[in-house]
Amino acid sequence: MKELISRAVELAEIVKKQEEVLVVSHIDADGITAASIAKKALEDYGIEAKVRFVKQLEKFEIEKIKDENKFIWFTDLGSGHVSHLADLDFIISDHHVPIGRHERQLNPHDFGMDGSIEMSGAVATLMVANRLSHDESLGELALVGSVGDLQDSRYGKLVGFNRKLLQFLDGKLVEIQKDVRFFGKQTRPIVKMLEYNIDPLIPGLTGDEASCVRFLSSLQVDPWVRWIEISKEEKRRIISAIVRHCINFGLGYDEIKRIAGECYILLRNPEGCEKRDAMEFSTLLNATARYGEAEVGMAVCFGDEKAFSRARTLLQNHRKNLAEGLRIVEEMGIKELKYVQYFHAGREIRDTIIGIVAGMSLVRNPKKPIIAFAESERGIKVSARATYKLVDSGLNLGKALRASAEAVGGSGGGHSVAAGALIPYGSEEKFLQILDEIVAKQLQNRTLSMSSPP
Ligand code: C5P
Ligand code: ZN
């Protein structure tokens, strides 16, 4: 911990000497909040800041960045590419599995932490930013980044360093509520919240509007009001009915316990607004980034109302695309190898949302990691998702994807439960073969460790 803080101080001192900084960040909710935190802190300190969002830090992006001849602050990315950054003046605040140590890098993995649950890219960035600005709202954004990165999903609450931040904000800017962990409590009718929930998948309810309406009506609850509008008693009635329903359908304790957990309310934002709930806020940001409008997401972080309205339109569009993506996967079917399952969406699903669709499709068969392919302008985009149960059994998708992608001339990486890669057109089959073998080895080498929150 002491070393982590001194690294943050060292990096902040390097940044303070700059007149101008180019922040390069990842196009997702964590990346947007990380970039917003860096930009705000730099400006508060009197340093000119520009931001660029990239899908991945590929070679051609690095070349473009080098041409600009600026000091770079990489946020929520960079750790997988330090070996290609030799000619650059930079710092990195990232949480993806690093390929090696670097004195200009602040990454939780280098300090004995698990960057997939204990610290997001936004929180890593906040550690440096805090030395440049005392704006407390930056902490709020960092929390949204962690939730956007699903760092709270493993244990139904934030843990590790994320929790330290949460405790600092608790009661001032944030309220911790024990509630259902379904998406849309602020803004969606209860029936939609239930219908679209996928964690856990509830047989007979998930994906079936008519059943959800019947289910709620039988409990004398209006399906078309929002969760925040009903009484505590009604909430209790719904939760116990859902639990009973899950038991009747044979769901195990591990799945049922995922229904409730911690939710994070951002107290400065009004009730009924996406920005009130960290989960909804981060989804709103994702909906901008995945459609090439990460700048809109960043403007939302800075409180811009026009951008907020645009982001809501993008969110509606995002929802439609996800539903359409799921329908496409259903139609084409998911194929199975011995250790992984996969589908190839070709050009039918955007490469920027293929990972989300893969994650949503995983619930149909959570026993094997799911691999999804989509064509992109620079090759085949691969997204892989798995359950924490598989991770506890030894699976590490980040490592598996990096090795199999490199074996076919591509590149990849990420986290143990969620990873991605870019591989040459036509190499899908070979890639799958190699990946299946690596996953087999990972699962065979498993050490049956009982997992508990750090
Ligand atoms: O794109 P997707 O959401 O599937 O990415 C999942 C994870 O894999 C992200 O954390 C991302 O940084 C990582 N990834 C990577 N290399 C790629 C694509 C994704 O390291 N080419
Ligand atoms: Zn991240």
Query: Ligand 1, atom 1: nearest CA belongs to which residue?
Result: 420
Kindly state the average pLDDT of the residues 428-442.
98
pLDDT surpasses 50 at 18: yes
Q: Are strands 370-376 and 90-93 parallel, antiparallel or unpaired?
A: unpaired
Q: Residue 297's domain spans which residues?
A: 178-325
Which stretches of 111-259 are assigned E, i.e. beta strand? Answer: 174-180
Residue from 40, 47, 36 nearest 13 by CA: 47
Domain boundary among the residues 101, 119, 135 is at 135
Q: Give residue 446's pLDDT band: very low, low, confident or very high (50, 70, 90).
A: low
- Cα-only R_g, the chain: 21
Global pTM value: 0.89
Mean pLDDT taken over the chain: 93
SS3 441: helix
Quote the ligand 2 centre to 165 CA distance (angstroms): 16
Nearest to 324 by CA among 332, 335, 336: 332
Residue 151: inside a domain, yes or no? no
Span from the CA of 355 to the centroid of ligand 1 (angstroms): 8
Q: Are residues 355 and 240 in the same domain?
A: no
- For residue 117, the CA-to-ligand 1 centroid distance in Å is 16
Residue with tokens 């065979």: 444
Write out pLDDT tens, residues 274-304.
999 999 999 999 999 999 999 999 999 999 9
For residue 154, the model assigns a pLDDT of 87
The domain tally of the chain equals 3
Same structural domain, 313 and 338: no
In this structure, the strands spanning 411-414 and 418-423 are antiparallel
382 Cβ neighbours under 8 A, 6+ residues apart: 371, 372, 373, 401, 405, 410, 412, 420, 421, 422, 423, 431
Q: How far is CA 136 from CA 30, 133, 162, 277, in A?
A: 18, 9, 15, 18
Note whether 254 and 308 are same-domain residues: yes
In the predicted structure, residue 452 carries a pLDDT above the cut 70: no
Which of 120, 383, 391 should be mutated for ligand 1, with most atoms under 8 A from CB?
383
Over residues 155-193, the pLDDT tens digits come to 999 999 999 999 999 999 999 999 999 999 999 999 999
What is the token pair recorded at 211? 């059943």
Query: CB–CB of 137/118 below 8 Å?
Result: no
Whether residues 13 and 126 fall in one domain: yes
Q: Is the pLDDT of residue 364 over 90?
A: no
pLDDT at 137: 93
Average pLDDT on 219-226 reads: 97
Choose which residue among 415, 416, 427 to substitute to test ligand 1 binding: the one with the highest number of ligand atoms within 8 A of its C-beta.
415
Cis peptide, bond prior to residue 366, ω within 30 of zero: no
Same domain? For 310 and 344 the reply is no
Q: Which of 290, 370, 401, 406 to mutate to test the pocket of ligand 1 (most atoms within 8 A of CB)?
A: 401
Rounded CA separation 452/327 (Å): 36
For residue 297, tell me if it sits in a domain.
yes
User: What pLDDT band is residue 58 in, cutting at 50, 70 and 90?
Assistant: confident
Same domain, 306 and 358: no
As a whole number, mean pLDDT of residues 64-83 equals 93
Contact (CB, 8 A) for 342 and 432: yes
- 183 in the same domain as 93: no
Please return the burial class of 428, using the count of CB atoms within 10 Å of its CB with bins 0-12, 13-18 and 19+: middle
State the pLDDT confidence band at 422, using cuts at 50, 70 and 90.
Answer: very high
Inside any domain, residue 150: no
pLDDT in tens, 301-329: 999 999 999 999 999 999 899 889 989 99
Question: Which residues approach ligand 1 with their CB closer than 6 A?
Answer: 56, 80, 96, 355, 383, 411-415, 418-422
Domain boundary among 77, 107, 135: 135
Interval 20-29: pLDDT, tens = 999 999 999 9
Of 118, 135, 152, the position where a domain reaches its end is 135
Write out pLDDT tens, residues 372-407. 999 999 899 999 999 888 998 999 999 999 999 999
